[in-house]
Amino acid sequence: MFRNWRIGSVNGVLLAAYFIPAWILVAFNIMVAPVHGLYERPSVAVALFLSDHLQMAGMDTVRAAWLLALGRLTVVAFFAIYLALLCIPRVRKNGGSDEALGIALAIGSIISFASMVMASKVGEMAALRLHATELLLLLGAAIVIVIERPAPAPKTVEAAPPLGLEQAELLHNR
């Protein structure tokens, strides 16, 4: 069963195994209580940056928290689509699920990079380490996906029947 799995596929499954539960929990906490969920460890740098540097009011902070939760849920959704596509052997062999993984990696990298920059601006070192680690995981998976391409399908050449004396080779016969 595992003979046709590529390294990028296994790497994507391991990333999905981390990001789906971790980011769903963070997004759920933000959806239930936006301000309280935003000030928890995974999002505290964003909250401090919004309140200190951008000086957002209460309702604007809630909207920003919901936007962050929506971004995280989008990444989780693309990881789930990737896992669903990976279960189909034909799609897995020709790399058809790599597009969903690529979108999840791109959006997740943007969120992690922005959160890492915000954590460095506010001096939140634990959040900086968390977001830097997530960013390195996502970028490493993206590099593996870019470098490892699926094996090309074998090309079949159709043998043309030999022309006999009764068949003339004309331009429209090719």
Q: Locate all alpha helices (DSSP H) within 87-174, ordered by sequence.
A: 89-93, 98-122, 125-147
pLDDT in tens, 84-119: 999 888 888 787 888 999 999 999 999 999 999 999
pLDDT value at residue 149: 72
Residue 40, C-beta contacts closer than 8 angstroms, at least 6 positions apart? 26, 29
Ranges 3-12, 25-34, 148-157: which has the least confidence? 148-157
Which SS3 state, helix, strand or coil, does residue 22 take? Answer: helix
Tokens of 147: 């470098």
- pTM: predicted TM-score of the whole model, two decimal places: 0.81
- Number of neighbouring beta carbons within 10 Å of residue 165: 5
Which amino acid type is present at position 23? W
> Stretch 3-31: mean pLDDT, rounded?
90
28-66: per-residue pLDDT in tens?
999 999 988 988 888 999 999 988 888 888 888 899 999
Dist. CA 32–CA 113, nearest whole Å: 25
